[in-house]
Amino acid sequence: MRHHSPRLRPLAGLIFLLNSLDAQPVEVAKVESRKLDRVIVLPGELQPFQTVVLYSRVAGFVEEVAVDRGCMVQKGQLLVRLTAPEITAQVAEAESKVRSAKSQRTEAAAKLSANQSIYDQLKSASATEGAISEKELIQAQKAVEASQASVESLDSVVLAADSSLRVAMQMEQYLHVRASFDGVITERMIHPGALVGPSAGAASAMLKLEQLSKLRLLVAVPETEYTSVVPGARVEFTVPAHRSRKFFGAVARISHSVDTKTRSMLVELDVSNPSGALAPGMYPEVAWPVRRPGDSLLVPRTSIVTTTESTFVIRVRNGKAEWVNVRRGVRAGDLTEVIGDLRPGDTIVRRGSDEIREGAPIQVQGKN
């Protein structure tokens, strides 16, 4: 067994004392692990649930505008009445053709009935030998067949006339522009006397109708928070016009596509607006709930060191400093989420500094 010389023992003690003096005293903390639910504020935009610009399908002059900007309307309500003499004339002409065709068909049917009666009488009389000639019976039968063909032909004429009348009446219905859903008139672009119609171009736009009792809230959710989008989730938001009031919307539609420019995904929420407190065009602040799929690692904010080269925390292992590269996550009070090669319960320096070099001896002063 090897023994140290009595002269070397004081030297070994001195080296130990010097190493102890070199060890930097630090306070330490433990890496925590827990479920991290938080809320981030995202900008949104309110839009009408339905919106439509009303045009005239037929050319005509505006005779009456029954509504104005701001009017509440019901589905089917008359909004604009147009006049077009040529369409009225087309309807009258089509009605006349229908009456004429039906009259001719009635006459042909009466003639068919008479010819059929004659034929039946001759047919009955032919049972007596020599009462009528075979030629007379054949002529009567031919007359019935001709009358039947005439009636069938006129049936087609009546159907065609009816179809033309329905088309003309449908065109006449276009002279009455009605609301396609319950909503509010938000723009009026015409007045009585204006010419509107397909040939009038952009100038033929008459009214803008929007559904405001229900709105769409559009939110661009960052790509990193995609997993927090839950269909049907109830989300809180506020608007500048009602700072002290909280509103809510339900996640209804998800685009499932990330915008390559903004690295975000568009999500639509349905918002009930029966009181009309909200209006399209408002930019709400949305309190978007973020839920991590697993536990997060949390460290004191002061433990994270950022230099021009890296971001790291200092782990204490076997009495020495070990730099562990990390990425910052979100803040949770006095703690910050980190992503890196750490484990729950690891001991780290509470107040990190790049002056504590990799491998430097550490003297622990306290633990949390």
CATH code of domain 39-50+210-292: 2.40.30.170
Q: Average pLDDT of 204-214?
A: 93
Of 2 and 122, the structure prediction assigns the larger pLDDT to 122
Residue 202 has a pLDDT of: 53
| pLDDT for 107 beyond 60 | yes
| pLDDT for 203 beyond 60 | no
Q: Angle 320-321-325 (CA atoms, 0-180°, nearest 5)? A: 145
Using CA atoms, how far apart are residues 205 and 189, in angstroms rounded to an integer?
A: 7
Closest CA to 317 of 351, 346, 357, 355: 346
How many CB atoms are closer than 10 A to CB 3? 7
Residue 271 has a pLDDT of: 97
pLDDT tens profile 256-306: 999 999 999 999 999 999 999 999 999 999 999 887 777 889 999 999 999
Residue 247 has a pLDDT of: 96
| pLDDT for 17 beyond 60 | no
Residues pairing with 325 in the sheet? 312
Cα dihedral 119→120→121→126 (10° resolution):
90
Closest CA to 4 of 12, 174, 105: 12
CB environment 188-198: b (16+ within 10 A), e (fewer): bbbeeebebbe
Using CA atoms, how far apart are residues 48 and 281, in angstroms rounded to an integer?
A: 9
| pLDDT for 127 beyond 70 | yes
Q: Residues near 177 by Cβ (< 8 Å), separated by ≥ 6?
A: 54, 56, 78, 79, 80, 81, 82, 206, 207
Residue 36 carries which side chain, given as an amino acid letter?
L
Q: Token pair for residue 206?
A: 């008459």
Residue 130 has a pLDDT of: 67
**Confidence class of residue 40 from pLDDT cuts 50, 70 and 90?**
confident
Closest CA to 71 of 186, 181, 176: 186
Q: Name the percent of the chain lying above pLDDT 70.
A: 91
Give me the chain's average pLDDT, please.
Answer: 87
Distances, alpha carbon 208 to alpha carbons 73, 187, 202, 272, 274, in Å: 12, 5, 13, 21, 20
Q: Average pLDDT of 227-251?
A: 92
Residue 12 has a pLDDT of: 47
Using CA atoms, how far apart are residues 248 and 269, in angstroms rounded to an integer?
A: 9
Cα dihedral 146→152→156→159 (10° resolution):
140
Give the distance, in angstroms, between the CA of residue 342 and the centroid of all CA atoms in the same chain: 42
CATH code of domain 23-35+295-366: 2.40.420.20
Residue 313 has a pLDDT of: 94
Q: Residues near 335 by Cβ (< 8 Å), separated by ≥ 6?
A: 32, 298, 299, 300, 301
| pLDDT for 32 beyond 90 | yes
